[in-house]
Amino acid sequence: VPELPTALLVRFEGSHPKRTIGYRSDIDALPITEDTQLPFSSVHDGRMHACGHDVHMSLALAITKYFSEHQPEDHVIIFFQPAEEEKSGGKLAYELNLFEGQWRPDEFYGIHDQPDLPAGTLSTLAGTLFAGTAELKVDVIGQGGHAAYPHLVHDPIVGAAELITMLQTVVSRGVD
């Protein structure tokens, strides 16, 4: 698919299928320089699998390897999803009808690692559990002037500062 050229869908036939289970993993490296000095650090300057993408991808590869050697009872689809951070790759894949026919899962799962929890611990919550990213572009237009004539100024700096403060409180005061 030209819109998602690095997307990969893998399907395993179930031995006695009653449903199709999907697992989704983000696969993109992010434009961040890895500075850990660990032996498995990124070898590409300015790009690394941050935000747990390496964990998500490793898990997807492990699931794929497992089911390549052990036929599942239900059908299983593994979706290696690109473009999570900038283009909403999952939504784009859905809008491109990639999950139709035999590729349509009855249930779709994904994970997000939480390094603050002990290893082996799973947590879940009905509703929103983690935030996503989005871009908002706003032009604040004003009119500068002289400090001696503040009544003739429409100060865009003060307006922009107020807007930033208000936007920050939307999440911190309105979203659990």
Catalytic sites, residue numbers: 26, 85
Which ranges constitute the DSSP H helices of the chain? 53-69, 84-87, 89-95, 156-174
Amino acid letter for position 5: P
Q: Which of 77, 84, 23 is nearest to 49 (CA)?
A: 84
Separation of alpha carbons 14 and 152, rounded Å: 73
Separation of alpha carbons 83 and 48, rounded Å: 14
Residue 53 · residue 27 · CB < 8 Å: yes
- Coil, helix or strand at residue 108: strand
- Render 7-32 in DSSP notation, one character per residue: -EEEEE--SS-S-EEEEEEE---BS-
